[in-house]
């Protein structure tokens, strides 16, 4: 077990997955609250999506935790590599394969989020949030900020809305 911890693969994998899974934690926290709010869930999903897009666009070496780990690795005079005083094995070449793995992992996480949450159209969620979330309303002088969101939702649901029967009894 101790020998596995000396493998550079374990160190880099831990750093990578810390950076990859941190955005998903935003969504997990929102979905595990005692009082689940649809607005809060949509906001958390959109934040997670945006964070995953940032992670996707950042180079492997520039991910926050990975950068800290790489900065803490020390080369010794005999050509060895150590991290916090522990000698690392299998250091050479693993970063190259991990760069490819990072992109595959990001795609897999995004696909999993989309599949598990059944989100077919994230833009529709953004429009719904614009209308449903009153937090931004007080920052606007008039209601025109929501017109494009209402139009987009009406266009998306035009057919079901045309066939809906309205029953109003007074």
Q: Report whether 60 contacts 95 (CB < 8 A).
A: yes
Mean pLDDT of the chain: 78
16, 39, 60 from 125: Cα distances, Å: 29, 10, 30
Nearest to 7 by CA among 68, 117, 85, 88: 88
Predicted local confidence at residue 118, as pLDDT: 67
Predicted local confidence at residue 140, as pLDDT: 64
Predicted local confidence at residue 49, as pLDDT: 82
pLDDT tens digits, residue range 53-75? 888 898 888 999 989 988 888 88
Question: What average pLDDT does the segment 70-94 reach?
Answer: 80
* Cα four-point dihedral sign 87, 93, 95, 100: negative
Q: Which of the two residues, 75 and 118, has the higher pLDDT score?
A: 75
Backbone angles phi, psi at 19, to 5 degrees: -70, -35
Predicted local confidence at residue 170, as pLDDT: 46
Q: Which letter does DSSP use for residue 138 in this model?
A: G
CA atoms of 101 and 71, how far apart (whole Å): 21
8, 80, 89 from 46: Cα distances, Å: 34, 44, 40
């Amino acid at each position: 077990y101790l020998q596995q911890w000396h493998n550079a693969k374990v160190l880099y994998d831990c750093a990578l997955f810390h950076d990859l899974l941190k955005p998903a934690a935003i969504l997990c926290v929102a979905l595990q609250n005692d009082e689940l709010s649809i607005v809060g869930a949509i906001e958390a999903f959109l934040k997670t999506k945006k964070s995953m897009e940032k992670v996707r666009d950042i180079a492997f070496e520039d991910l926050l935790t990975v950068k800290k780990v790489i900065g803490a690795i020390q080369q010794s005079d005999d050509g060895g590599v150590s991290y916090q005083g522990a000698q690392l094995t299998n250091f050479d070449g693993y970063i190259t394969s991990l760069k490819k793995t990072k992109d595959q992992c990001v795609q897999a996480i995004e696909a999993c989020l989309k599949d598990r949450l059944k989100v077919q159209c994230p833009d529709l969620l953004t429009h719904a949030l614009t209308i449903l979330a009153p937090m931004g309303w007080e920052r606007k002088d008039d209601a025109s900020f929501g017109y494009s969101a209402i139009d987009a939702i009406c266009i998306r649901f035009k057919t079901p809305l045309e066939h809906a029967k309205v029953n109003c009894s007074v």
